[in-house]
């Protein structure tokens, strides 16, 4: 009963529907903007002979829905006096608030480079609902 033409049309319809669904879902995701500031190394601490690398992560999540959160990686290039350079990543959690992050390094190591990668997207804020709420608040009586 089914012809090749009917089956082909059905397959094309299913693929088109899945493509539209994927595009709709992708349009509802936003990426917050993360920046690292106040990056510094502490002096060597005894008795473990370690230094502490610290930074403040600030976040612009204005496009994200309320209470959004996720993860991000910082990719480091570590220099060492006694070993080859090493690239590695450390995962951290992000939230709508600025946060301090820290990593310990032995006294003979230093960070040559660092960058933020792999930021988890967030659900976009519903601008239409915010616009409706703002319009409704203007029409309320005092």
Local confidence band at 98 (pLDDT 50, 70, 90 cut-offs): confident
pLDDT at residue 107, rounded to an integer: 92
What is this structure's pTM?
0.66
Domain housing 2: 1-29
- Using CA atoms, how far residue 121 sits from 9, 46, 49, 89, 103, in Å, is 35, 40, 38, 18, 24
Quote the CA–CA distance of 91 and 116 in Å, as a whole number: 10
85 and 111 co-located in one domain: yes
pLDDT of residue 89: 97
Within-domain flag for 138: no
Same domain, 81 and 17: no
Q: Which DSSP string corresponds to 26-53?
A: HHTEE--EEEEEEEEEPPPBTTTTEEEE
Q: Are residues 15 and 44 in the same domain?
A: no
Q: 83 lies in a domain?
A: yes
Question: Is the domain of 19 the same as that of 46?
Answer: no
How many domains does the structure of the chain reveal? 2
Q: What is the pLDDT of residue 24?
A: 39
Structural domain contains residue 21: yes
CATH number for the domain that contains residue 51: 2.60.40
User: Which residues are within 8 A (CB) of 58 and not within 5 positions of it... i.e. 6 or more apart?
Assistant: 34, 35, 37, 98
Query: Under a CB-based contact definition with an 8 Å cutoff, are residues 20 and 69 in contact?
Result: no
pLDDT of residue 135 exceeding 70, the answer is: no
pLDDT at site 68: 84
In this structure, the answer to whether residues 76 and 122 fall within a common structural domain is: yes
Is residue 8 located within the same domain as residue 43?
no
Q: Are residues 22 and 35 in the same domain?
A: no
Are 49 and 84 within one domain?
A: yes
Lowest mean pLDDT among 9-13, 19-23, 73-77, 107-111: 19-23
Q: Determine the average pLDDT of the residues in 103-129.
A: 89
pLDDT at residue 134, rounded to an integer: 58
Half-sphere exposure (Cβ direction) of 118: Cα atoms closer than 13 Å: 10
pLDDT (tens digit per residue) in 53-96: 999 999 898 888 888 889 999 999 999 999 999 999 999 998 87
Is 142 a domain residue? no
Q: Are residues 1 and 15 in the same domain?
A: yes
């Amino acid at each position: 009963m089914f012809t090749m033409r009917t089956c082909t049309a059905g397959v094309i319809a299913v693929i088109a529907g899945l493509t539209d669904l994927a595009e709709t879902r992708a349009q509802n995701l936003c990426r917050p903007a993360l920046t690292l500031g106040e990056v510094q190394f502490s002096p060597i601490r005894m008795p473990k002979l370690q230094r502490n690398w610290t930074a403040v992560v600030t976040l612009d999540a204005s496009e994200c829905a309320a209470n959004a959160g996720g993860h991000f990686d910082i990719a480091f290039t570590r220099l060492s006096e006694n070993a080859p350079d090493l690239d590695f990543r450390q995962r951290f959690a992000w939230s709508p608030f600025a946060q301090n992050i820290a990593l310990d390094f032995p006294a003979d190591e230093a960070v040559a480079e660092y960058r933020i990668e792999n930021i988890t997207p967030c659900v976009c804020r519903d601008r239409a609902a915010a616009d409706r709420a703002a319009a409704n608040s203007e029409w309320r009586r005092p």
